Amino acid sequence: MTDEGSTNLDLIASATTEAGTVAELAAQPVEFEDLDHLTVALPPGWRLQREDLEPGMAEPTRSKGTIYVHDAASFVKAVNRRKSEPDPVLYADDGNQQLVAVLNDDDGDKTGWRDYRVALHLDTTPEWQHWTLQDGKMLSQEGFASHVEDGIGELQVPAPAEMLEIAQAFHATTAARFKSGRRLASGATQFAYEEEIEATAGEVSIPSELVLVLTPFVGAARYEMRAWFRFSLKRDQLLLGYKLQRPHDVLRAAFGDIRTEVAAALPDLDMLAGPAAR
């Protein structure tokens, strides 16, 4: 083979090697640094797969999640067990009665993940639910009497014994034809009725206002709440009910006292008014 031929073969071999090298390099991922982000260009057909090694570790890389508690004392204990530098930030949302401690919140120019929290989830008591669920509804005599009897422990005015007598009177007159209702000088409303079976007439009265003492939230204090008595006469049938006076004010007052209790127990933490946004 002539020297010219040998040279041509060498050039072909060299070009082939260079092309293979270029193709091999083109098949590799290329990284681009861009401040806080890493951008990787992958060749066609490649699949990006990420392995989470944390489940196999002796302990997690960081704490996260939300711990839910149901009273102020448990909230304080949960925060004290988990707080570290920087101190958590407390968020008090009066409108929704929510209190949240963000344990890994931002601290000055140092940003936090803000996903490790203690949240106070307040549950209303069965007694609160008993009286608020029937608020503004008109009940039959028997239904009203049974409702009052079931919630007699929360009645302050009239006295429980007196209210039981009234309830029993309404139980006894379910078959009567009510004629009218009139307000007495004492403020009570008196109803006149007739019983067809025995052809007898009678009267039964009930106060114009009820005073209840209720615990709105589990573990909270008791608060006084008033209710206006309501009635309706339809075709000789008496319907009874009550309208609670501003129950939302009672909830707001109860949450305010809980917030004050928590602030006193955690004096070194900042409390901000408003929801803890994600």
Q: Return the domain boundaries, the chain.
A: 3-41, 63-123+255-273, 126-246
Question: Residues 76-82: what's their mean pLDDT?
Answer: 94
Question: Residues 33-37: what's their mean pLDDT?
Answer: 61
**What percent of the chain has pLDDT above 90?**
40
Question: Residues 250-271: what's their mean pLDDT?
Answer: 95
Closest CA to 127 of 212, 215, 209, 211: 215
SS3 249: helix
Q: What pLDDT does 197 receive? A: 39
Q: How does strand 155-157 pair with strand 209-214?
A: antiparallel
Reported as a single tens digit per residue, the pLDDT across 224-241 is 999 998 877 776 677 888
Q: What Cα–Cα distance (Å) separates residue 84 from each residue in 46, 112, 144, 277? A: 43, 13, 54, 21
